[in-house]
Chains A and B, each alone.
Chain A
Amino acid sequence: MTTAPPIPDVDVETLRCEIQNEYAEVAQHPDKGFHFHTGRTLAAILEYEDSLLEGIPDRAIESFAGTGNPFGLGEIQVGANVVDIGSGAGIDSLIAARLVGPEGRVLGIDMTPEMLEKAQRAATEGGFDQAEFRNGLAESLPVEDGWADVVISNGVLNLCPDKATAYGEIHRVLKPGGKLQVGDILVQKEVPMSAKQRIDLWTG
């Protein structure tokens, strides 16, 4: 499966490294102040109901950096298998874990070690044995074919260098009839190629 960058002259590894560095900072210094809102302030902007955050450890919430709300897009049922692409410090994965209950499972996938560590600590702290976090890329998900009832993602797919491959991977891991529920961004003005080639603009 190809992961060739769709944008000329953008080195994929450099781009991923810059994104990792940015989100390592979000994990380790969530109050630093970024080009985007974070934490509970962000959750309110994105219209997360207070009930969604009940029982979610603060360490998962403080480093939240999504752009939407996957939970307003459809029910996540008890016993379901859920994949969270770009799980970060775990807020959405742990909300999903509470929704699926002990008979369900949640796989959070992220490429930033600092975020994975923080998410795993949050899962342990919150008693979410049904949540597991794995290192991986959206373009190459460490998930078996047809495993997921629902794939969620929040503020991540826009950062993928090869979005077509990422959507192909989501299709692969979903069961037939499975649902994709995503928070992301939409640009309403044409982005010139010169801007797409600036790695600093991908995170800022």
Chain B
Amino acid sequence: MVTEAGFENFEITWRKAVFDGAPQSSSAASFGTVGINFRARKPL
């Protein structure tokens, strides 16, 4: 979706189970949900 929008150099640089241990239980774990960082660039 990001590249389809016209971006280049898409890259996921980090991922982590950021919902583990949250005060209330979450549906996130059942879908294997992790937090990520990603970046991309609009072409010149």
Binding site for B on A (CB under 8 A): 33-37, 42, 45-47, 67-70, 72-74, 155, 163-164, 167-168, 170-171, 174-189, 191, 195, 201, 204
Instruction: Tell me, in angstroms, the Cα distance from A108 to B6 when the chains sit together.
Output: 23
Q: Can you show 22 pairs from A to B with CB atoms below 8 A apart?
A: A37-B21, A37-B23, A67-B36, A68-B36, A68-B37, A164-B4, A167-B1, A167-B2, A167-B5, A171-B6, A171-B7, A177-B44, A178-B42, A179-B42, A180-B41, A183-B37, A187-B31, A188-B31, A189-B31, A195-B31, A204-B24, A204-B26
B32 touches A176 (CB 8 A): no
B residues within 8 A CB of A204? 24, 26-27
Instruction: Tell me, in angstroms, the Cα distance from A178 to B7 when the chains sit together.
Output: 10
The chain B residue with its CB closest to the CB of A201 is B27
In the complex with contacts A33-B24, A69-B14, A191-B5 CB distance below 8 A: no
Out of A72, A176, A188, name the residue touching B44 (CB < 8 Å): A176
Count B-side interface residues using an 8 Å CB cutoff.
36
B39 touches A183 (CB 8 A): no
12 more CB-based (< 8 A) A-B contacts, given A73-B38, A179-B39? A46-B18, A67-B35, A70-B37, A72-B14, A171-B5, A180-B41, A181-B37, A182-B39, A185-B35, A186-B12, A186-B33, A195-B31
B23 touches A182 (CB 8 A): no
Q: How far is the CB of B13 from chain A (nearest CB, A)?
A: 6
B34 touches A186 (CB 8 A): yes
5 residue pairs, one from A and one from B, having the closest CB atoms: A33-B23, A188-B32, A167-B5, A67-B35, A35-B26
A177 touches B41 (CB 8 A): yes
Instruction: Tell me, in angstroms, the Cα distance from A76 to B32 when the chains sit together.
Output: 31
A35 touches B28 (CB 8 A): yes
The chain A residue with its CB closest to the CB of B13 is A73
Q: How far is the CB of B30 from chain A (nearest CB, A)?
A: 8
A residues within 8 A CB of B14? 47, 68-69, 72
A183 touches B35 (CB 8 A): yes
Out of B5, B19, B27, name the residue touching A164 (CB < 8 Å): B5
In the complex with contacts A34-B23, A73-B13, A171-B6, A184-B1 CB distance below 8 A: no
Instruction: Tell me, in angstroms, the Cα distance from A171 to B40 when the chains sit together.
Output: 10
Instruction: Tell me, in angstroms, the Cα distance from A183 to B35 when the chains sit together.
Output: 7
A168 touches B5 (CB 8 A): yes
